[in-house]
Structure 1
Amino acid sequence: MSVHVIGAGVAGLAAACQLTEAGHHVVLFEAAKTAGGRARSHYDNVLGCRIDNGNHLLLSGNIATLAYLQRIGANRSLTGPAEPIFPFHDLRTGKSWTLRLNQGGFPWWIFSSRRRVPGTRLHHYLGLLKIRRAKPSDLVAPLLAGTGPLYSQLLELLAVSALNTSPQVAAAAALRSVFAESLDLGGYATIPRYARGGLSETFVDPALNWLRERGAVIRLGERVSELNPAQATILAVPPWAAAELVPGLTVPNEFESIYNLHFKYSLPPGEAGFWGFIGGMTEWVFAHSSVISVTISAASRYADMSAQDIAAKVWSEIASAFSLPPEIPVYRAVWEKRATMLATPAQMARRPKTRTNNPNLMLAGDWTDTGLPATIEGAIRSGNAAAQALMSGLNGLSAIV
């Protein structure tokens, strides 16, 4: 059976790989000339090297992502520390510290002042139980306000990064789903991982090669403007594009941006290769071989600032933290205006299921109802779910997705 997969982002690639492995003939369409969606790399002439369009920090508990990379032969393309450690720098105090989780399921680390968040006490961590009981209408900041320094020095940054939404309006249930598969399981599920060479080299190019070797047809730079109701199809495009192709489809319609800066500067990677920054504009810093990459989530709050002003502010924070020269190096700014859906309760309720009213058409994308916020793990799960649902129909079976 021939199956069309429309959209060659991570969700579409995951669906195409699962269908191909099951013996179906896949035709993969992508409107852009390159695959990967928001997880791709390109050569930048200003910096004279390849850069990612953004930084994506994975965790060892992202089982769908790790299985996808195993399938396409890219599991060795990830790197990161061997232990569940997260270095931080507090711009307000000038102090650096490292969160050191233990490997097992029971959180022994919260009993050690050298491992846990500075200034926290055991009772602060009891506040995390509120997340487990979060209702769909609960918001992150009001729910976790009572955790004191645990919130201001850790949870606030984790929330805005995982949800790409201000904690003041973000759905606490979305953060609960992240914690349920990481912190709640223990350190063994929370070891940080990120692409060693680049996002395309990890998530995209190996998948395209894997698909071509198995007979899949890949049509880059070819936009699909109309669906054939009789054709088995997985639609893995952004929500606004899906709404145009499927009349009456309810999708998220409010979005948040992510701002990324790449400075041409070599920085020793330290213990982990990255740092979380607290109390400033900078949020996550990654030390690549010749570039320092910075990610700022929920970046719409800085829409009135120029790229030069943002770069100056961020570099001043990095220079202060690492005792670097104050002069701003050559840099490239990448601002993704509609990077993810806004993770408010109202927008989360607009996420559609995998199945549509047409049994030949399934939806995939991090904006669908994956049980996770808009992440790579969620995108890959959505692709897997769409492929499985479509194959169940093709085989005359029933499946719950």
Structure 2
Amino acid sequence: MAVIGAGWAGCSAATRLSELGHQVTLIEAARTLGGRARRVELHDHALDNGQHILLGAYSATLALMKTLGIDRTSALLTLPLQMCYPGTESGMHFVAPKLPAPLHLLIALLKAKGLSRADKLSLARFSTTARWMDWQLHQDCSVSELLQRFDQTEKLCRLMWIPLCIAALNTPPERASAQIFLNVLRDSLGAKRATSDMLIPRLDLSRLLPEAAARQIQQNGGKVLLGNAVKSLTLNTDQRWQCEDSHSDPALAQNWDGIIVATDAEHAKRLLATIDNKELAAPSISTTFSYEPITTCYLQYQSSLQLPRAFYALEDQPERQHWGQFVFDRGQLHASQQGLLAVVVSASGAAIEHSHAELATAIAKQLAANFQRPDLATPLWHKVISEKRATYSCTPGLVRPENKTSISSLFIAGDYTAGDYPATLEAAVRSGQQAASQLHQQLQA
């Protein structure tokens, strides 16, 4: 078997195939595993191309990490559900205690600071109504429309629902799918308490899962080929596959019983179009995706600097050049990163119209104002990393492709395939595992 693309979808697909007894070759164009969630080396730090946060609801990801022998305690900082801003004059302070669901949300709501009685009743009404509806809409609409239907207050929308929507779907609420948003809330807020936990990686994203997956694949007799960009696929008359890269690398001169294309959607479209077989029409991905960027701004201060919490929500106000939405104190995640802050800007299209230097300066000034600490305005160094096609726009009614293609031994995998979740690490892992299981079943038939 061959899996093309060693992002989280490809690594999970290859691992599942390996577990099912197949000899797997995992092929990746880059030199680093992880795809759009990978390690970058920055000022002697092993960081990421984007700061991520996982949820306790990410059952497939957490189960795979356990299978791969990754110790969750050392790999992830587990925090209770929270939405805390640096100050409560205009912000809010909401932290769920470690109590059974839904009691944890009720107590958090009663103790929340910065919310009026009307705001709290609004939040309670949303939760009750969504549960009564079983988290399902008869017809999808935008998140903005959903919030309006549920009579959510302006402050609650501004400080909780809109930030959660942008963080989860990486799509502005006026264009984001309400049903997908409800799916995420169902599996986190609407399930067991632990599913609402927020999990912040202590390890870089390549170490967190992809590299462990690669080791298991190799231990089971498979291969991991880095720096091999597959340019075309050929289905031979014996119904076996061949891959070719631009250098005609002999490492790819093999025949495979099945292929999983686990690249991003646009690369997958191009690769599927190269298939030349007189008997079978080349499969295609008919969905046209639009994309949203995510930007992470790393700011290094003196090693003595530490925030009171590991992460905070920030109120983005583009009209004031306040672009940051969440800030993470990396020093509370890894001892070697004292004084390093990571600020995330999701759906960052407007923000990245500015130069990196301008954006970093604006974000540093935002932190100084939000925390009322003038020293935060002058970091020792900064680095801005933008993934311009970080995720697809998760819009209402978007029809996403299935893993199966028109050729029985060819499957696709990625966070963009059909599923309940938006473009997240969990969606990628689920897609990869599903594609692998379906390919295995097809070959056993």
Q: Would you say same fold, with TM above 0.5?
A: yes
Secondary structure of the equivalent of 1:161? helix
Secondary structure of the equivalent of 2:353? coil
Q: Distance in 2 between matches of 1:144 and 1:94?
A: 20
Residue 305 (structure 1) aligns with = 354
Secondary structure of the equivalent of 1:121? helix
Residue 399 (structure 1) aligns with = none
Q: 1:136–1:376: structure 2 CA closer, same or farther, 3 Å change rule?
A: farther
Secondary structure of the equivalent of 2:105? helix
Q: Cα offset for 1:194?
A: 1.8
Unaligned runs of 5+ in 1: 397-401
Q: Which amino acid is the alignment partner of residue 165 of structure 1? A: T
Unaligned runs of 5+ in 2: 242-257, 274-283, 318-322, 332-336
Q: Distance in 1 between matches of 2:114 and 2:25?
A: 49
CA contact (8 A) 2:314 2:326 kept: yes
CA contact (8 A) 2:86 2:312 kept: no
Q: 1:91–1:308: structure 2 CA closer, same or farther, 3 Å change rule?
A: farther
Q: 1:121–1:74: structure 2 CA closer, same or farther, 3 Å change rule?
A: same
Residue 219 (structure 2) aligns with = 213
Determine what percentage of the aligned residue pairs are the same residue. 28
Q: Cα offset for 1:270?
A: 3.6
Residue 384 (structure 2) aligns with = 333
Alpha-carbon displacement from aligned partner over 1:215-236 (angstroms, at most 9, x marks no partner)? 1111111111222333301110
Q: Distance in 2 between matches of 1:94 and 1:140?
A: 23
Secondary structure of the equivalent of 2:163? helix
Residue 134 (structure 1) aligns with = 137
Q: Cα offset for 1:60?
A: 1.3
Q: Cα offset for 1:96?
A: 5.7
CA contact (8 A) 1:84 1:103 kept: no
Q: Which amino acid is the alignment partner of residue 249 of structure 1? A: I
Q: Distance in 2 between matches of 1:69 and 1:50?
A: 20
Q: 1:23–1:313: structure 2 CA closer, same or farther, 3 Å change rule?
A: same
TM (norm. structure 2) is: 0.82
- Residue 278 (1) aligns with residue 315 (2): yes
- Aligned partner (choices 149, 166, 182) of residue 160 of structure 1: 166
Residue 79 (structure 1) aligns with = 76
- Aligned partner (choices 287, 291, 298) of residue 329 of structure 2: 287
Q: Distance in 2 between matches of 1:310 and 1:62?
A: 32
CA contact (8 A) 1:258 1:295 kept: yes
- Residue 97 (1) aligns with residue 93 (2): yes
Residue 169 (structure 1) aligns with = 175
Residue 232 (structure 2) aligns with = 226
CA contact (8 A) 1:156 1:167 kept: yes
Q: Distance in 1 between matches of 2:181 and 2:114?
A: 19
Residue 241 (structure 1) aligns with = 267
TM (norm. structure 1) is: 0.91
Q: Cα offset for 1:87?
A: 4.4
CA contact (8 A) 2:28 2:227 kept: yes
Q: Cα offset for 1:50?
A: 1.9
Listed as ranges, the matches of 1:240-259 within 5 Å are 240-247=266-273, 248-259=284-295
CA contact (8 A) 2:92 2:113 kept: no
CA contact (8 A) 2:83 2:160 kept: no
Secondary structure of the equivalent of 1:153? helix
Secondary structure of the equivalent of 1:228? strand
Q: Cα offset for 1:108?
A: 4.9
